[in-house]
Amino acid sequence: MSEGKPLVGVDIGATSIKVVQLKETRKGLSLFRMGYCALEPQTIVDRHVMNSQAVVDGLRRAFADAKIKQREVALSVSGQSVISRKITVPIMTTAELDEQIQWEAENHIPFDIKDVNVDYEVLRRRADAGQMDLLLVAAKRDEINDYVQIAKQAKLKPMVVDIDAFTIQNLFEYNRGLAPDQTFAIINVGATQASINVVSRGASAFTRDITNGGNFFTEQIVKQVGVPFEQAEDMKIQASQPQSAGVLPPKVFQVIDSACDTLAGEIQRSLDFFLATSGEERISRIFLTGGTANLPQLVNAIERRSPVPAEVMQPLERIPIEKEIDQQALAPRASQLSVALGLAMRKSKEKRA
Ligand SMILES: Nc1ncnc2c1ncn2[C@@H]1O[C@H](COP(=O)(O)OP(=O)(O)OP(=O)(O)O)[C@@H](O)[C@H]1O
Ligand SMILES: [Mg+2]
């Protein structure tokens, strides 16, 4: 189905750059190299790169620290610059569809079509109805170009640009498979956004980004406990560990519980919207990933809000770790690696299935 060697997965997030290189072995993929570089606040704001030199430097450092020689990379974009919609069109050939898709996008995508790259995936062919369901995806060209240019300045060769939600779905599929009879949600909670992807019948059926994440939790601790940002960040991380109850002021836990509850409420509203508009009856499970998924309080808040079991996704469930990797550095970061891991599964010469 696909050939070529895996690309280096490069995830440029709001608070850090994550890079991952996988190795193909006879038994499957294994984790060969991993690099991480924190970014100063304000380097990236609302997905826009404000300080491109800082990102270029961060990429160089992450590659050098991880000793990654390969330059061909897969990048991803997300947030407000990406929109996906499930649409239905009459059954047609791939050639016809390639021609038609731009026109369909004009009807379904609220961006100016001149400014976007459009792609699609065939979800289902319904021969009896003479129709097929597509997932239409549009990403703003400017935003993609910014990231591509930055990667090039860091002497990298971007070969693929994917979307956060789909890379994580790819990773999930590798680890667990996508049960055709189940509808479930995968939610990536980073520092500035929570991206929801509902997977149904083995394909993405709904995506939505919520502007809420770990940074807002930390800011609430700053405001309500009265400590500087860095200290608030440390307190939050400590609060995610067992046995932290006696060590931290009780107020920290109250603030985190309340922030988790707000986010859980926003997530639930999005899932309710999906259920109300899709005709699907239920979501069977919620999987969380991203740095903020490390807070057990968030899993609990989501389970309190919705009658659906929630759990933290294990990104490395079926990916063994090579001896080159520092396991102690990896363990607390594993949840932050999902996007980079999914990207690292992309190949240089991929064909659409
Ligand atoms: N153990 C932990 N407990 C609580 N929060 C944590 C923990 N580890 C990381 N985080 C939080 O996770 C966030 C970073 O996660 P991640 O790397 O997924 O985000 P990002 O990709 O930089 O941001 P975004 O996806 O919004 O662009 C930060 O807000 C950080 O405070
Ligand atoms: Mg992220």
Residues 106 and 157 placed together within one structural domain of the fold: no
Residues 267 and 200 placed together within one structural domain of the fold: yes
Residues 208 and 322 placed together within one structural domain of the fold: yes
Residue 227 placed within a domain: no
Residue 100 placed within a domain: yes
pLDDT less than 70: residues of the chain: 1-3, 349-353
Residues 99 and 71 placed together within one structural domain of the fold: no
Of 254, 342, 238, 239, nearest to 290 (Cα)?
342
Report whether residue 233 contacts ligand 1, using a CB cutoff of 6 Å: yes
Report whether residue 192 contacts ligand 1, using a CB cutoff of 6 Å: yes
Residue 297 placed within a domain: yes
Residue 234 placed within a domain: no
Ordered alpha helix ranges (H), 87-213: 94-108, 141-153, 164-176
Of 73, 102, 137, at which residue does a domain stop? 137
Which residue's CA is the closest to the ligand 1 atom numbered 9?
Answer: 291
Report whether residue 116 contacts ligand 1, using a CB cutoff of 6 Å: no
CB 280 within 8 A of CB 183: yes
Which residue's CA is the closest to the ligand 1 atom numbered 28?
Answer: 191
Residue 92 placed within a domain: yes
Residues 101 and 112 placed together within one structural domain of the fold: yes
Q: Looking at the DSSP assignment, which residues form a beta bridge with residue 105?
A: none
Q: Which atom of ligand 1 is nearest to the CA of 11?
A: 21
Mutational pocket test of ligand 1: of 43, 210, 292, the residue with most ligand atoms within 8 Å of the beta carbon: 292
Report whether residue 43 contacts ligand 1, using a CB cutoff of 6 Å: no
pLDDT at 353: 38
Q: For residue 125, how far is its CA from the centre of ligand 1 (angstroms)?
A: 39
Helix (H) or strand (E) holding 341: helix 338-344
**Burial, 184: exposed, middle or buried (Cβ in 10 Å; 0-12, 13-18, 19+)?**
buried
Point out the ligand nearest to the CA of residue 17: 1
Q: How far apart are CA 240 and CA 297, in angstroms?
A: 8
pLDDT at 2: 52
Residue 170 placed within a domain: yes
pLDDT at 1: 40
What backbone phi and psi angles, to 5 degrees, belong to 120?
-150, 165
Residues 202 and 143 placed together within one structural domain of the fold: yes
Q: For residue 190, how far is its CA from the centre of ligand 2 (angstroms)?
A: 5
pLDDT at 180: 87
Q: How far apart are CA 97 and CA 89, in angstroms?
A: 9
pTM of this prediction? Answer: 0.92
Residues 95 and 202 placed together within one structural domain of the fold: no
Helix (H) or strand (E) holding 126: strand 116-126
Q: For residue 208, how far is its CA from the centre of ligand 2 (angstroms)?
A: 14
Q: Which residue has the tokens 């189905």?
A: 1
Which residue's CA is the closest to the ligand 1 atom numbered 25?
Answer: 190
Q: How far apart are CA 137 and CA 82, in angstroms?
A: 7
Residues 181 and 116 placed together within one structural domain of the fold: no
Which tens digit of pLDDT belongs to each residue from 199-225?
A: 998 888 888 999 999 999 999 999 999
Residue 248 placed within a domain: no
Which residue's CA is the closest to the ligand 1 atom numbered 31?
Answer: 214
What backbone phi and psi angles, to 5 degrees, belong to 133?
-95, 135
Q: How far apart are CA 82 and CA 140, in angstroms?
A: 7
Give the Å distances, CA to CA, from 134 to 32, 83, 99, 139. Answer: 35, 14, 14, 16
Report whether residue 21 contacts ligand 1, using a CB cutoff of 6 Å: no
Structure tokens at 101: 């898709």
Structure tokens at 91: 């059954």
Q: Which residues contact 298 (CB under 8 A, 6 or more apart)?
A: 189, 260, 263, 264, 288, 292
Q: For residue 14, how far is its CA from the centre of ligand 2 (angstroms)?
A: 7
Residues 131 and 180 placed together within one structural domain of the fold: no
Q: Which residue has the tokens 């991880």?
A: 66
Report whether residue 232 contacts ligand 1, using a CB cutoff of 6 Å: no
| CATH code for the domain of 118 | 3.30.1490.300
Which residue's CA is the closest to the ligand 1 atom numbered 15?
Answer: 291
Q: Looking at the DSSP assignment, which residues form a beta bridge with residue 132?
A: 89, 125
Residues 168 and 263 placed together within one structural domain of the fold: yes
Q: How many independent structural domains does the chain possess?
A: 2
pLDDT at 203: 86
Q: Which residue segment(s) compose the domain that 129 sits in?
A: 83-137
Q: Looking at the DSSP assignment, which residues form a beta bridge with residue 72?
A: 157
Q: How far apart are CA 174 and CA 176, in angstroms?
A: 6
Point out the ligand nearest to the CA of residue 339: 2
Mutational pocket test of ligand 1: of 55, 188, 237, 338, the residue with most ligand atoms within 8 Å of the beta carbon: 237
Q: For residue 109, how far is its CA from the centre of ligand 1 (angstroms)?
A: 30
Helix (H) or strand (E) holding 270: helix 250-278
| CATH code for the domain of 177 | 3.30.420.40
Measured in whole angstroms, the distance separating CA 106 from the mean position of its chain's CA atoms is 26
Residues 292 and 143 placed together within one structural domain of the fold: yes
Q: How far apart are CA 100 and CA 92, in angstroms?
A: 10
Residues 112 and 23 placed together within one structural domain of the fold: no
Q: How far apart are CA 125 and CA 88, in angstroms?
A: 10
pLDDT at 30: 97
Residue 237 placed within a domain: no
Report whether residue 14 contacts ligand 1, using a CB cutoff of 6 Å: yes
Give the Å distances, CA to CA, from 256 to 240, 277, 296, 335. Answer: 10, 32, 10, 19
Helices 296-305 and 250-278, packing angle to 10 deg = 50
Of 210, 199, 202, 209, nearest to 278 (Cα)?
199
